[in-house]
Structure 1
Amino acid sequence: MNKLLPLLIGAIGVLLLATLMLVILPAWQMRTAEPPQRLQPYTEQQLLGRQQYVANGCIYCHSQQPRSTGQTLFDGAQGWGRASTPGDYFYDAPHLLGTMRTGPDLLNIGARMKSRDWHLTHLYQPRAIFDWSLMPSYPYMFEVKDEAAPDDVVVRLPAQFQPSGGRVVVAREEALDLVDYLLSLDRTYPASEGELQKRDRGYDHRPETTETPSNAG
């Protein structure tokens, strides 16, 4: 019994310290956070597209958190942009950081792939762009028509993926919303000194730089 009390006190002390360091202090640090000057709020269409991103499980195969060279050399070599900072997610609720990378990181996909046509083709049939792709196709976000209406957005496809009989594939609204959200993912602006001090640099103890890597786009 005499040994149980110190053990209990020690366990409570560890729990309180962990709560302080992992919950209270980070929350206090972030409470006065401001969005980076060049970061814009999502539009209504982009928010709808963000819902499609979640509903279609994109988060299961893609992350949105490029890491520093102190954590990995891979992200920079892939051209995924500078390491992300807390301010990059100011308008994200909830955050879509992701934990898997079956596909590439997408936080700067709007800077790397700026073509709406490319994204629509990729969503309808990824193998039309990369024959080795593991990504599922999303045909239910599109419609096959005999003839496109004046306001339809026709998906550009290689001949082997086009529907028969001269029909065309047009994007539904949910596909257009999702692509608009993906195009908004561009955090290649330089991070401020204050933002750089807030991020976890892993084992990299060298000073952070506000310069954007030349291969970020």
Structure 2
Amino acid sequence: MKFFNNHYVLYGLAFSLFLGLTFYIAIFPAIENQKINNALPPQTKMLSAEEKAGKAVYIENGCVGCHTQQVRNVEMDNIFGKRPSIPADFATNKRTDFWRNTANLMGTQRTGPDLTNIGERQPSDQWHYIHLYQPRVAVAQSVMPAYPYLFIEKDEVQAGDIEVKIPEKFLKNKNKKVVASDKAIFLVAYLKSLKQRDFTGNYVPPFLYKSQKKEPKSGGDSQLPDGAELYAVNCASCHQPDGNGVAGAFPPLANSPVVNGGDLELIVTIIMKGYDPRPEFAVMPPVGQSAQFTPEMVTAIINHEKSSWGNNAKKVTVEEVKILMDKIQK
């Protein structure tokens, strides 16, 4: 009974029990979980000083309000990443300082697309600069606000400047050159650093609610996917809906010698693996590989391009495309 009469002993014992349970139930398991389940994926790279500055610009401009950085484990998110996001993907986030936690950039809504893997989906610097200056240049229906204040207008481009090729109709002053500011350069560097690392393990969840996709049979165009729709989703943001591209940034497909030419292997390679031999144009990413195009999808896109915007080239068959896809993927 003396035990209950001595409040120092009573409360001291209760506090010790609480402290012991806290370490045993919460702290020690959390440390172990951090070591095992939240270990950094292979090939993870820490942000460079430029990319960190770009992350600050991303936060400063409220990009997290419209863009997420989390791939959910549902099939519809497969377009944003190769696998669902796991805690280890966010293990590089560190506290800003003792008093402030790292800003959470996972986001809560998708007014714009998820950016988890945007560095792989769109590796072109020029595309990002154009998109930031005026999103409607890249995507006509975009509701994203423009950020022209991240750019500088100059009479002449100087050494070291990064000129941004903006169509005249979107320029405020057609006699000026648009040059990326340091903030724009930092922001693009950060966006290009967003790449989902390859990772396997028992705690990587699978994509759920997969829809049953019927593979089209080879044959006429009526049995292929909608080439115009595939083009609109995967190609139009650079080459434009009218196929005219953007001067100095993305080449036109209308009256293109590549599209109208007879080198089918070149066209298939460009679609699947990207293209970067031309200093006058931006780098084309491996759209086909990233979107996991099938031979039917590639055939539909090629035939759409060969028969649109004044092009009148010979259409191709699924069999021809499949042979070349097997060849270039070996």
Same fold flag (TM > 0.5): yes
Q: Which residue in the other structure is 1:96 paired with?
A: 105
Q: Which residue in the other structure is 2:61 paired with?
A: 56
CA distance in 1, matches of 2:49, 2:180: 18
- Structure with the bigger RCO (C-alpha within 8 Å, sep 6+) is 1
Are the counterparts in 1 of residues 84 and 205 from structure 2 also a CA contact under 8 Å?
A: no
Q: Which of 46, 49, 61 is matched with 2:51 structurally?
A: 46
How far apart are 1:162 and its partner, in Å? 3.1
Q: Which residue in the other structure is 2:30 paired with?
A: 27
Task: Report Cα offsets for 1:134-175 as digits up to 9, x if no partner.
Answer: 000111111111111111111111231234343111010000
Are the counterparts in 1 of residues 71 and 77 from structure 2 also a CA contact under 8 Å?
A: yes
How far apart are 1:42 and its partner, in Å? 0.4
Report the structure number with the largest CA radius of gyration: 2
CA distance 1:141–1:92, shift in 2 (3 Å): same
CA distance in 1, matches of 2:65, 2:185: 21
Letter in 1 for 2:199: A
CA distance 1:162–1:38, shift in 2 (3 Å): same
Segments of 4+ in structure 1 off by > 4 A? 23-26, 199-204
Q: Which residue in the other structure is 1:65 paired with?
A: 70
Task: Report Cα offsets for 1:104-159 as digits up to 9, x if no partner.
Answer: 00010000000000000000100111111000011111111111111111111123
Normalization by structure 2: what TM-score?
0.50
Letter in 2 for 1:162: L
Moved more, 34-43 or 52-61: 34-43
DSSP-derived class of the 1:31 partner: helix
Structure 2: give runs of 5+ residues left out of the alignment: 1-21, 95-101, 210-288, 294-330
Q: Which residue in the other structure is 2:162 paired with?
A: 153
- Give aligned pairs, total: 182
DSSP-derived class of the 2:41 partner: coil
CA distance in 1, matches of 2:93, 2:156: 39
DSSP-derived class of the 1:103 partner: coil
How far apart are 1:178 and its partner, in Å? 0.4
How far apart are 1:25 and its partner, in Å? 8.3
Q: Which residue in the other structure is 1:105 paired with?
A: 114
Are the counterparts in 2 of residues 163 and 169 from structure 1 also a CA contact under 8 Å?
A: no
**Aligned-pair Cα RMSD in Å:** 2.8
